[in-house]
Amino acid sequence: MVFSSTTFLFLFLPLLLLVYFCRRSMTWRNGVLLVFSLLFYAWGEPVWVLGMVAVTLINYYLALKIYGSRKRRLRKLLLWVGVGVSVSLLVYFKYSAFLINTVYGLMGIEKAAAERHLPIGISFYTFQVLTYTVDVYRNKAKPQKSPFLALLYISCFPQLIAGPIVQYTDVAQALGHRRTTPTAFYRGMQRFVLGLGKKVLLANLCGKMLEATALAGGDASLSFLGAWFCAALYAMQLYFDFSAYSDMAIGLGRVLGFTYKENFNYPYLSASVTEFWRRWHISLSSFFRDYVYIPLGGNRQGTARTVVNLAVVWGLTGLWHGASWNFLLWGLYYFALLVLERFVLKEALSRVPKALRHVFTLLLVLIGWVIFYYTDFTAMGEHLGALFGLGRGLADKKLLLVLKQYTVLPLVMALCCLPIQGRLKAFFSSGSQTRALWGEILGTLALTLILLLSVLFLMGQTYNPFIYFRF
């Protein structure tokens, strides 16, 4: 089940809210939320919901033992058992075929292992399980006494499938004690509708435009301008799609009494690659910083060790997105850029006008998305070559047809990547009470229109999953 479906919007969500709010008891509300969350996941994974439950309960038991033991070796052993169980399940489903086929290739064996079915959201909930066990081991958090609340933390449906990755310490208190207010409900639903509009009206439209370009099917006629246009469209599609899910998750969390941290902060405004990764998929960057980079030593052990630590982090970041060499290459591409920014070009870049740094960073990010897009290295090479005009024309027929059909829509979508909403909100809230009231009225009307248009578009569409479901 996905948020942008009529089943969720008109059946699952209304029924959940009706049952959830019919009683004030937190025990009742947690029980309802747990049942609906498991149902939400089982809707798409009727078998592997048991795997998620099993991993959670194993780590719940191990965390209790870790917290109750004063023996350092035993605590560490229990930690590694928990980490091993969690990671081994992820490796089995996501990477085993990739690793086997890599070995086959090195040995010259033509036989190929079949890809395994990847349980939805396994990359996200595995990381959340890890934060729980590791934080208990570090004494940053006390273990959850109730196995049902531990399971609720992992399975809570707003952030279960595609994040944001919620660390246990962020919601530990709210699991047992949280307040839901009419204002929070209203603001949460506003955020949800905004995310729905991003997904249905923007991300899906970007996808339709991409299907009409020479990019679809790996057409060799992709031109210089066509290559950059497709890269920009894909960049916007990824941003709208993933930030839409985060908006919807954050909004639903607020409706239910949880506060989830922001996951995106207008990343395409960045003036450096370092800044881009402070704005893009913030919860993933935070996870690798807190649970990989810092434990490895971070930047505390000299330049050489820092570079090695960064290589490990970005190699893992790339592979986290998928079991394919292009994802590893994409991660190492950012590793190289970050090392250059940090250790080689730092002083030189500081003298470059900020506007030029914005443009240069955006171009580097677009090149990165081309690497991210292709699992076929030949097709990737052709697109990268087209970006630099190698043997390609200036424009192609499909590009011109798309621009003729959609006219100013690509420009409108580019503007939607900017913090226009925040500027409007600041404008209306900084004046008189009358201006603030008009801001509320216009904002509500705009969101109502977005909701109606989104529903109309959904009525004419079939299954439209979020891109990050496959990661």
Share above pLDDT 70 across residues of the chain, in percent, rounded to a whole number? 96
Is residue 463 scored above 60 in pLDDT?
A: no
* pLDDT confidence of residue 302: 85
Lowest mean pLDDT among 116-130, 224-238, 298-312, 421-435: 421-435
Share above pLDDT 90 across residues of the chain, in percent, rounded to a whole number? 49
Is residue 265 scored above 60 in pLDDT?
A: yes
12 or 396, higher pLDDT: 12
53 burial via Cβ count (<10 Å: 0-12, 13-18, 19+)? middle
Selected catalytic residue, list 281, 321, 358, 383? 321
Is residue 436 scored above 90 in pLDDT?
A: no
pLDDT tens figures, 267-304: 999 999 999 999 999 999 999 999 999 999 888 888 89
**3-state SS, one letter per residue, for 156-177:** CHHHHCCCCCCCHHHHHHHHHC
Residue 53 identity: V
pLDDT band per the 50, 70, 90 thresholds, residue 468: low
Give long-range contacts, CB 8 A cutoff, 24+ apart: 208-214. Answer: 209/233, 209/402, 209/406, 209/409, 209/410, 210/234, 210/237, 212/398, 212/401, 212/402, 212/405, 213/398, 213/399, 213/402, 214/396, 214/398, 214/399
pLDDT tens figures, 327-341: 999 999 999 999 999
- Whether 383 sits among the annotated catalytic residues: the reply is no
Crossing angle between the packed helical segments 204-211 and 224-256, to the nearest 10 degrees: 160
Lowest mean pLDDT among 7-16, 294-303, 326-335, 458-467: 458-467
In DSSP notation, 272-287 reads SHHHHHHHSSHHHHHH
* pLDDT confidence of residue 469: 58
Is residue 39 scored above 70 in pLDDT?
A: yes
In degrees, to the nearest 5, what angle opens at C-alpha 290 toward C-alphas 371 and 338?
40
Closest CA to 130 of 242, 280, 284, 318: 284
Residue 241 identity: D
Crossing angle between the packed helical segments 147-155 and 122-137, to the nearest 10 degrees: 140
Is residue 219 scored above 60 in pLDDT?
A: no
Whether 59 and 147 have beta carbons less than 8 Å apart is answered as no
pLDDT band per the 50, 70, 90 thresholds, residue 216: low
Query: Phi-psi category of 264—alpha, beta or left, where left has phi over 0 and alpha has psi -120 to 50?
Result: beta
pLDDT tens figures, 43-60: 877 888 888 899 999 999
| Start-to-end C-alpha separation, the chain | 16
- Computed over every residue of the chain, the mean pLDDT equals 88
pLDDT tens figures, 187-211: 999 999 999 999 999 999 998 888 8
Closest CA to 202 of 153, 251, 235, 156: 235
* pLDDT confidence of residue 234: 94
Please tell me what DSSP assigns to residue 267. Answer: G
Is residue 130 scored above 90 in pLDDT?
A: yes
By 3-state DSSP, what share of the chain in percent is helix, strand and coil, each rounded to 5?
75, 0, 25
Is residue 379 scored above 90 in pLDDT?
A: no
Mean pLDDT, residues 374-398? 85
* pLDDT confidence of residue 282: 93
